[in-house]
Amino acid sequence: MTDARAGFRIRSAGKHALLIAACILMIYPLLWMLVSSLRPTEVIFRSPGLWLRDITAENYVLGWNALTHPFSHYLLNSGVVVLGSILGNLLSCSMAAYAFARLRFRGRNFLFAIMLLTIMLPIHVVIVPQYILFSKFVWVNTFLPLVLPKFLATDAFFVFLMVQFIRGLPKELDEAARIDGCGHFRFFTRIVLPLMTPAIAATAIFTFIWTWNDFFSSLIYLTSPDNYTVPLALRSFLDSSSGSNWGAMFAMSILSLLPVFLAFLFGQKFLVKGISTTGIKG
Amino acid sequence: MNALGELGAPGRRAMGRKGDTPDSKAGFLFLLPWLCGLAFITVGPMLASLYLSFTDYNLLEAPNWVGLDNFKRMLGDGRLHNSLKVTFAYVLIGTPLQLALALAIAVLLNRGMRGLAFYRSIFYLPSLLGSSVAIAILWRQIFGTAGLVNQALSVLGVASPPGWIADPRTALGTIILLHVWTFGSPMIIFLAGLRQIPAEYYEAAAMDGAGKWQQFRRITLPLLTPIIFFNLVLQIIAAFQAFTQAFVVSNGTGGPSDATMFCTLYLYQRGFGLFDMGYASAMAWLLLAIVGILTAANFFFSRFWVFYDD
Amino acid sequence: MKGGWRAGVLGLAAALAPLLAGCGRGGAESGTVTLRFSWWGNDKRTQVTLQAIEAFQKKNPNIRIKAENGDWGSYWDKLATQGAGNDAPDVIQMNESYIAEYGKRGALLDLEKAGVKTDRFAPGAADAGRLKNGLFGINAGINAPAYMANPKIFEAAGVPLPDDRTWNWDRMADTARRIAKACPKGTYGMENPVGVEPVFKLWLRQAGKDQYGELGMAWEPADGAPFFEWAKKLASDGATPSASEVSEETAKPIDQTLAATGKLAMWSQWSNQASAVEKVAGTKILLLRPPSATGRCADNKTWYKASMLWSASAKTRHPKEVAAFIDFLANSQDAGRILGTERGVPANLDVRKAVEPSMSETDKRVAAYLDAIASDLGPVPIVTPVGGGKFESILQRHGQDVLFGRKSPAAAAKALHEEMKGLLK
């Protein structure tokens, strides 16, 4: 018995060792950035290695205060945009997905194709007309152009994702609900949504991460530095024509990775929750 | 069971007969936010850009109609043809590699080990950095002419290693590698899909004596096909629009010697750099046509390999 | 009921729009004028610019200035988008390569007509922003092409510093070769000029031509070929970095280049970037005149440029206040003392005199360099015309083709010429 157990331990230790090696390879660039944030700026580019000789926290202190506001101001801005986007996406995309996946109505096919079409056009040619549109509404330099579209299911990616998940739910559920006299809305909120938890978790995580990292739209719509989100604020440390504050930028980049990383760690729990179909199939 | 067939059925039959479209009212209500978004935010600008593709528009003055001139220009534009080549190479090589890696890691990290959450987070980390300016620096630290890879190679005795990101022959390869490195997003989606496969299936199969590999082939893969299909469609669409990584690593030039000049990078340069937004819009619609055809083909062929439970 | 809902949606849109347009940004309090001011630069430039804004606001309590600063890389996309939406900032920091794109298309305000004075400017400095249809940019700082040398590397290689009044291109190449041979691998004698616009321009001007003229292109492919040949030879001789290193350089920001990290003995740079490079290199950097074809510095045909310019949006609702602010930035000694030489040497001679005592040692040398080359100046170059703004990146691309052996120097010169001709409208 003990031999088999020892064998298992060795195999699993081996697996862990391999995984850890793979991890280090995967995140080497990030480790380098972390290490560089602890080096003074002048020294950063002289060494591609990870060995820390003169550790200093000055980049964090300086970087936090280098811009007009302490960096927490920009983290908060990003937080507002991100939370609004997550809420918007979850609400609107799930509704649209339910319609496409489970409801039957004229033109469904056509509208689904249109929806996919909207993500096939590169943003650079749509942004100018969009900007002109938002500028006519005088929404420029507010968070509205970034958050409001999320409440209108403009992220077709998540609609499609949820459609695929809903289609994975057995049709018996629908029939049972109909027999029980359950209307679409109750069916949607009471049964479909809870069963789609992995898709919802994925949507929330991705919305968080992509909105947190969005640069181009934020650049165009947020003109005043007071409204800058994190990616814009990070750019403020740099200027390729006059010398940049790399240490501070790396330090603040590491700091801004933390919320995303934590969101991901936390959100994983919901990805893990699987569905138990014994009650339904039986 | 095909993807669009299911969706298409009601559309083809119903023509004013209320019985075949029982859910029109519900459909409209559930779709209302999306329809508003479509009307106000998406369709308007898209139609505007379609109009612009038939004009000469320099952003600062009113557009003036030139008809098909932009499209005729595209036929003779060598740099456009090169950018199509670069983009296709990236899609045909990069997308399968990225998806295969994402699926493999997702399956590996699905169950049965301690510390899964930790490993998953680590493998996802690269995707967090994907579009930041820091990526350019990091990639240069590794793949630059004096970067880590070359330093390692010179220690191993290689005389004149290639320039990687700075050499036209290998530059695209480093961008593809960057794309594969950021496999975190499809991996998460695969994980979510794997989580929806009921554990009972595996238990039943194990009781019948099926091994791990058989379980993968007979249970996991078929039940995962909707998700694989989803990732395939969207990663192809995204890969055709690849922009940020090449932009950041080549500093917007698409270099060296146009080796990393993706279609969207080229159209961005023409639109914003050379104030040639009419031509850029025409290129965008060409890209849309290409991607649209490929996606339609994807949907068409999905009937042969995608399995839906409904 | 067929199209009913569709009509409803569109009607909703039409109804909402004016409503939303009404609740826009809060209107200004009566009497206060708010100007939007955009510029690019690092945090040091942001600091001094904000201080200058403070000083102006103190003197003009009814004018508020809103800062909209960013970095060079994203600046132009933003400005172009804003321009498309008729939404450009009131005061815009402008660059010579783009001023024609905006000025000729009616996006900029004629500043002379608006009342900004340039009479105390150094001779010719004001013309940096002058197009045929008006003065659209006020010189925010004078700079000029220069060659910079790292004396430490010369010392280590045992090569004497060149005499910049008598050197020519061949002599520079020889010096570079000697240094490269004497230095460890990875350190080179000079940069490869194949992607450097000012060097290309110097070659054209020394050959009696120029980049642009009244009628557009002012050079022929035959004028460009010798430049590419020379660059190719430099690379194959090892005097300059390899092709890969050269193409990598173009993607690097200024503080990571081979020059800044002490791996180049000589390179070309705009004079106002000297202190940025010096800071990273950690050693004193010398400024040298560019070589001439003949060996006489009076023939090197160099020129003064505006490192950047102050422009204004033609659609501004407050042209008087805008003119007052730009006038302050360019002509007031207070502004000059605050802004310093961070953007170049002040064009206004009085301001320059006032700033001189507080200049850093490096900036004093830069100012001295600008004075010294006054006698070498060639004819005033034409402002980059519409379509010419991206010349340097196009030059780099063809240069890479030459260095990587994909095109012959003559073919590259021809391709470059054709491409530029097609872009100039």
For A16-33, how does the pLDDT look when each residue is reduced to its tens digit (9 = 90+)?
Answer: 888 888 888 888 888 888
d(CA A17, CA B186): 25
Distance from first CA to last CA of chain C, Å, rounded?
A: 53
SS (H, E, C) chain B: CCHHHHHHHHHHHCCCCHHHCCCHHHHHHHHHHHHHHHHHHHHHHHHHHHHHCCEECCCCCCCEECCCHHHHHHHHCHHHHHHHHHHHHHHHHHHHHHHHHHHHHHHHCCCCCCCHHHHHHHHHHHHHHCCCCHHHHHHHHHHCCCCHHHHHHHHCCCCCCCCHHHCCCCHHHHHHHHHHHCCHHHHHHHHHHHHCCCHHHHHHHHHCCCCHHHHHHHHHHHHHHHHHHHHHHHHHHHHHCCCHHHHHHCCCCCCCCCCCCCHHHHHHHHHHHCCCHHHHHHHHHHHHHHHHHHHHHHHHHHCCCCCCCC
In degrees, rounded to 5, the angle at the alpha carbon of residue B279 between the alpha carbons of residues B275 and B283 is 125
Strands C145-149 and C130-131: unpaired
**Do residues C412 and C220 lie in contact, with contact meaning Cβ atoms separated by under 8 Å?**
no
Please provide the CATH number assigned to the domain covering C33-141+307-367: 3.40.190.10
Q: Which of residues 46-75 of B touch A (CB under 8 A)?
A: 46, 48-49, 52, 59
Q: Identify the top-confidence range among A224-233, B21-30, C96-105.
A: C96-105
Q: Distance of alpha carbon A186 from its chain centroid, rounded?
A: 29
**Do residues C56 and C63 lie in contact, with contact meaning Cβ atoms separated by under 8 Å?**
yes
pLDDT of residue C24: 34
Give the tens place of pLDDT for each residue, C73-124.
889 999 999 999 888 999 999 999 999 999 999 999 999 999 999 999 988 8
pLDDT of residue C10: 37
Report CA-CA distances (Å) from C295 to C65, C167, C169, C208. 50, 5, 8, 15
Q: Distance of alpha carbon C289 from its chain centroid, rounded?
A: 18
Set of chain B residues whose Cβ sits within 8 Å of the Cβ of C73:
251-252
Tell me what the mean pLDDT of segment A241-257 comes to: 83
If you count them, how many residues does chain C have?
A: 425
CA distance C370 to chain B (A): 31
Residue of A nearest to C87 (CA): A135
Set of chain A residues whose Cβ sits within 8 Å of the Cβ of C89:
223
Report CA-CA distances (Å) from C43 to A245, C79, C336. 8, 20, 18
pLDDT of residue A282: 27
Alpha helices in A49-122 (DSSP H): 58-66, 71-102, 108-118
Set of chain C residues whose Cβ sits within 8 Å of the Cβ of B36:
9, 12
pLDDT of residue A48: 66
d(CA B60, CA C81): 9
d(CA C268, CA C289): 10
Q: Look at residues B105, B138, B107, B142 and name the one whose alpha carbon lies nearest to residue B124.
A: B105
Give the tens place of pLDDT for each residue, A110-126.
999 999 888 888 888 88
Q: SS3 of A151, please?
A: helix
Q: Look at residues C186, C320, C177 and name the one whose alpha carbon lies nearest to residue C238.
A: C177
B106 forms bridges with which residues in the sheet?
A: none
CA distance B260 to chain A (A): 17
Structure token digits, residue B203? 């238990």
**Do residues A206 and A159 lie in contact, with contact meaning Cβ atoms separated by under 8 Å?**
no
The total of other beta-carbon atoms located within 10 Å of residue C31's CB is 7
The total of other beta-carbon atoms located within 10 Å of residue A127's CB is 23
What is the location of CATH 3.40.190.10 in chain C?
A: 33-141+307-367, 145-302+390-423
Residue A281: pLDDT band (50, 70, 90) is very low
**Do residues A130 and A94 lie in contact, with contact meaning Cβ atoms separated by under 8 Å?**
no
Report CA-CA distances (Å) from C351 to C41, C56, C144. 22, 16, 19
The better pLDDT of the pair B138, B9 is held by: B138
Report CA-CA distances (Å) from C10 to A56, A88, B40, C52. 59, 22, 9, 49
Q: Tell me the count of A-C CB pairs closer than 8 A.
A: 115
Give the tens place of pLDDT for each residue, B93-121.
999 999 999 998 888 887 767 777 788 88
**Do residues A174 and A102 lie in contact, with contact meaning Cβ atoms separated by under 8 Å?**
yes
Structure token digits, residue C167? 């050197």
Tell me what the mean pLDDT of segment B140-149 comes to: 85
Phi, psi angle pair for B202, to nearest 5°: -65, -40
For C9, the closest of B35, B257, B273 (CB atoms) is: B35
d(CA B141, CA A35): 13
**Do residues C313 and C90 lie in contact, with contact meaning Cβ atoms separated by under 8 Å?**
yes
Kindly state whether C84 is in contact with chain B, defined as any CB-CB distance less than 8 angstroms. Answer: yes
**pLDDT at position B186 over 60:** yes
- Indicate the Cα dihedral angle A279, B2, B3, B5, nearest 10°: -110
**Do residues B295 and A120 lie in contact, with contact meaning Cβ atoms separated by under 8 Å?**
yes
pTM, two decimal places: 0.87
For B64, residues 6+ apart whose C-beta sits below 8 A from its C-beta are: B55, B56, B57
pLDDT of residue C99: 95
Residue B172: pLDDT band (50, 70, 90) is very high
**pLDDT at position B6 over 60:** no
**pLDDT at position B156 over 80:** yes
Q: Is the dihedral of CA C151, C153, C157, C162 positive or negative?
A: negative
pLDDT of residue A240: 65
Q: SS3 of C314, please?
A: coil
d(CA B270, CA B282): 11
The better pLDDT of the pair B290, A3 is held by: B290
CA distance C80 to chain B (A): 7
ipTM above 0.90, yes or no: no
d(CA B307, CA C18): 49
Query: For chain C, what is the largest distance between any 2 Cα atoms, rounded to a whole number of angstroms?
Result: 91
Q: SS3 of C358, please?
A: helix
**Do residues A145 and B53 lie in contact, with contact meaning Cβ atoms separated by under 8 Å?**
no
Q: SS3 of C383, please?
A: coil
Looking at the domain B68-302, which fold is it?
MetI-like fold (1.10.3720)
Set of chain C residues whose Cβ sits within 8 Å of the Cβ of B140:
248, 251-252
Q: SS3 of C6, please?
A: helix
Structure token digits, residue C76? 């132009």
Q: Is the dihedral of CA C139, C142, C144, C147 positive or negative?
A: negative
Q: Is the dihedral of CA C250, C251, C254, C255 positive or negative?
A: negative
Residue of A nearest to B147 (CA): A48
Q: Which CATH number fits domain C145-302+390-423: 3.10.20.30, 3.90.1280.10, 3.40.190.10, 3.40.47.10?
A: 3.40.190.10
Give the tens place of pLDDT for each residue, B46-77.
999 999 999 999 999 999 999 999 999 999 99
Kindly state whether C333 is in contact with chain B, defined as any CB-CB distance less than 8 angstroms. Answer: no
pLDDT of residue C398: 95
Q: Residues in chain C with pLDDT < 50? A: 1-28
Burial of C295 (0-12, 13-18, 19+ CB in 10 A): middle
Looking at residue C38, its amino acid is S
Kindly state whether A42 is in contact with chain C, defined as any CB-CB distance less than 8 angstroms. Answer: yes
Set of chain A residues whose Cβ sits within 8 Å of the Cβ of C50:
68
Substitution target in C25, C43, C271 with the highest count of A β-carbons within 10 Å is C43
Give the tens place of pLDDT for each residue, A123-153.
888 888 999 888 888 888 899 999 999 999 9
